Amino acid sequence: MTFRAVLFDLDGTLADTAPDLIAAVNRILAEESRPPLPESALRPLVSKGGRALLARAFADLSEEAREPLLPRFLAAYAEALAVHTRPFEGIELLLADIEARAWPWGIVTNKPEGLAVGVVAGLGWSTRSKALVGGDTLPVRKPAPEPLWLAASHLGVPPEACLYVGDDARDIEAAKAAGMPSVAALWGYREAHEDPRAWGATVDCVDAEAMRRWLGGQGA
């Protein structure tokens, strides 16, 4: 198997964004005179997006009643989106390895593009990442394949030569639909009932170091 580029999901794959997202949820809870939730209650849902986080935090409200909270949550997050966010362990070494191979890498996320740009800038990756496609860049988002195709075109490689890495079932579904090989990032966010080994990724990696070693065995 030969690759010439790598695309990553952002939340739960490249970066541990949970602390800042959870802080934004708890800010909205405080504004509504509700007690904060512990990280353990929200962290497994981070890769599912803002609506999933709000559904857990405001479980007593209907979906319709929760919808007005979403822009408030996004605004709160935008004010402090790279405060406690950090790359997952081993990610910087993995990225350095990819760059040493002269492979371009980029990001395809369902996070709104403007927020993703801010996170990437906060992590110091703005010039290193050669593509960034957000959840609102196109009319469709993952698991649709179009965001992955767009990012691959920005990297200048065909889909079959581009590896996609993600921690959610939608990531692997999108990679399959796009004709890309995939890595299931087992170090990411998921609920207890989810079994990433059943998603059918090309390979499952327990951490970024395992992925780095796997890539090392694939040739250039």
Contacts 24+ apart (CB under 8 A), 175-180: 175/148, 175/201, 176/200, 177/143, 177/144, 177/145, 178/145, 178/148, 178/149, 178/152, 179/145, 180/7, 180/148, 180/152
- The tokens describing 158, both together, are 């065909």
DSSP state of 35: P
Between the CA of residue 49 and those of 6, 52, 189, what are the distances in Å?
Answer: 23, 6, 11
Distance CA 55, CA 62 (A): 9
- Say which of 9, 20, 167, 168 is annotated catalytic: 9
DSSP state of 139: S
Cα dihedral sign, 153-210-124-15: positive
Residue type at position 47: S
- The tokens describing 138, both together, are 């196109």
Q: Is 9 a catalytic residue?
A: yes
Contact 130, 105 (CB under 8 A): yes
Task: Return the active site residues.
Answer: 9
